């Protein structure tokens, strides 16, 4: 099996280019409320880790693919001035309801204006949807020299192998697999996982660190199926088939399920500029349908 993407998605990986960026990558908006209701949030430990790594106060941050603001609220509550960017209008509406006091920006990562630089750029379960070309020079261009990049996420899995097996059997007629190969093909047993692998190869970043925050919790069967209904692999199925697969899975689930949802955290520091060069950023994606706008 290929490496598992650090993305919180139980779905088969395809690059944004392959997905056309308008379909699957933007499939979450149709279930924005369910996303907010059923997706697990993030622990405050992440902010502590980022702060300890930064070694200095973080005043401003840009979030990429903020969704309904599950990670936004963590940093905002910790006193960081967050600019939450997200291309999907429905997800962003949900975010504004939940986290009203942050600046929001409706834009794809590829279209983000580079006018401002931040002390922190971070992304939760979203970076794998961005176009790989020019990814790191763009992140570097959005960071002050010495600024920090943080990425976190991880798969939400059934902890009990016997429950996982019956769910797999129930899902199989509709969806072959919900495992996520690593975006860059990193093997699951490799020491460094994506996007740490890309960061380490990038000329713009130093001091790449990877850590895991273990998470175990219990969900009702109904909430677990609610969670599945926000996963893009299921969202790609025709609506009637989605209902069928959720019904099939519901019938084999016990009343409550144990969940294993470890988070992998990657941290890196933007290299101080040499006199030789500054990041040269590829032009924006050219998509004109979602002009960036500050709200
Ligand atoms: C799995 S959700 C994660 C949302 C949120 N960060 C969280 O952790 O709950 C992925 C998000 O990435 C967004 N997205 C998709 N393509 C993107 C792109 N090219 N640039 C930025 N965000 C993108 C989607 O609209 C969606 O809100």
For the chain, what are the domain ranges?
16-156+182-216+260-270
78, 122 Cβ separation under 8 angstroms: no
Quick one: which of 146, 109, 140 has its CA closest to 124?
109
**Bridge-based pairing state of the strands 118-124 and 60-64:** parallel
pLDDT band for position 27 (50/70/90)? confident
Render pLDDT for 68-122 as a digit per residue (tens, 0 to 9).
999 999 999 999 999 999 999 999 999 999 999 999 999 999 999 999 999 999 9
Give pLDDT, residue 5.
42
C-alpha 277 – ligand 1 centre gap (Å): 31
- CA–CA dist 291, 107 (Å, integer): 7
**Element housing 38 (H / E):** helix 32-38
Across 79-220, the runs of DSSP E, i.e. the strands, are 81-85, 103-105, 118-124, 143-153, 157-158, 205-213, 216-220
The SS3 call for residue 211 is strand
72, 84 Cβ separation under 8 angstroms: yes
CATH topology of domain 16-156+182-216+260-270: Rossmann fold (3.40.50)
138 lines ligand 1 (CB under 6 A): no
Tell me the pLDDT of the chain averaged across its residues.
88
Return the structure tokens found at 184.
């860059």
Q: Which of 63, 126, 233 to mutate to test the pocket of ligand 1 (most atoms within 8 A of CB)?
A: 126
231 lines ligand 1 (CB under 6 A): no
pLDDT band for position 283 (50/70/90)? low
Quick one: which of 265, 130, 186 has its CA closest to 4?
186
Task: Look at the chain and count its residues.
Answer: 295
- Cα distances (Å, whole numbers) of residue 65 to 10, 33, 71, 112, 272: 17, 16, 10, 11, 26
263 lines ligand 1 (CB under 6 A): no
53 lines ligand 1 (CB under 6 A): no
Render pLDDT for 169-180 as a digit per residue (tens, 0 to 9).
999 999 987 767
What's the whole-number mean pLDDT along residues 276-295?
Answer: 48
C-alpha 27 – ligand 1 centre gap (Å): 10
Render pLDDT for 199-230 as a digit per residue (tens, 0 to 9).
999 999 999 999 999 999 999 999 999 999 99
Quick one: which of 182, 202, 91, 88 has its CA closest to 138?
202
Across the chain, the runs of DSSP E, i.e. the strands, are 60-64, 81-85, 103-105, 118-124, 143-153, 157-158, 205-213, 216-220, 256-260, 263-270
C-alpha 251 – ligand 1 centre gap (Å): 31
Residue found by looking up tokens 């692998």 in the block: 197
- CA–CA dist 17, 132 (Å, integer): 9
């Amino acid at each position: 099996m290929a490496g598992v993407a650090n993305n919180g998605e139980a779905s088969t990986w395809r690059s944004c280019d392959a997905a056309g960026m308008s379909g699957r990558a933007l499939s979450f908006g149709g279930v924005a409320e369910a996303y907010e209701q059923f997706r697990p949030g993030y622990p405050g430990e992440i902010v502590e880790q980022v702060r300890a790594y930064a070694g200095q106060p973080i005043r401003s941050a840009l979030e990429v693919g903020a969704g309904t603001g599950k990670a936004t609220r963590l940093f905002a509550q910790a006193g960081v001035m967050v600019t939450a960017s997200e291309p999907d209008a429905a997800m962003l509406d949900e975010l504004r309801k939940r986290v009203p006091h942050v600046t929001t920006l409706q834009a794809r990562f590829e279209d983000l204006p580079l006018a401002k630089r931040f002390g922190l750029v971070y992304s939760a379960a979203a970076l794998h949807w961005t176009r790989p070309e020019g990814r790191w020079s763009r992140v570097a261009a959005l960071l002050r020299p010495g600024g920090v990049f943080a990425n976190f996420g991880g798969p939400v899995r059934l902890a009990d192998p016997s429950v996982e097996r019956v769910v797999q059997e129930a899902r199989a007629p509709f969806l072959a697999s919900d495992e996520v190969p690593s975006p860059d093909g990193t093997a699951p047993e490799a020491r460094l996982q994506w996007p740490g692998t890309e960061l380490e190869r990038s000329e713009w970043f130093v001091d790449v660190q990877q850590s895991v925050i273990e998470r175990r919790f219990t969900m009702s069967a109904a909430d677990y199926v609610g969670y599945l209904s926000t996963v893009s692999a299921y969202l790609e199925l025709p609506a009637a088939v989605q209902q069928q697969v959720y019904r099939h899975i519901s019938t084999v689930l016990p009343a409550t399920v144990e969940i294993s949802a470890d988070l992998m955290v990657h941290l890196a520091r933007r290299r101080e500029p040499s006199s030789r060069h500054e990041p040269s950023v590829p032009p924006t994606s050219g998509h004109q349908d979602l002009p960036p706008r500050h709200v």
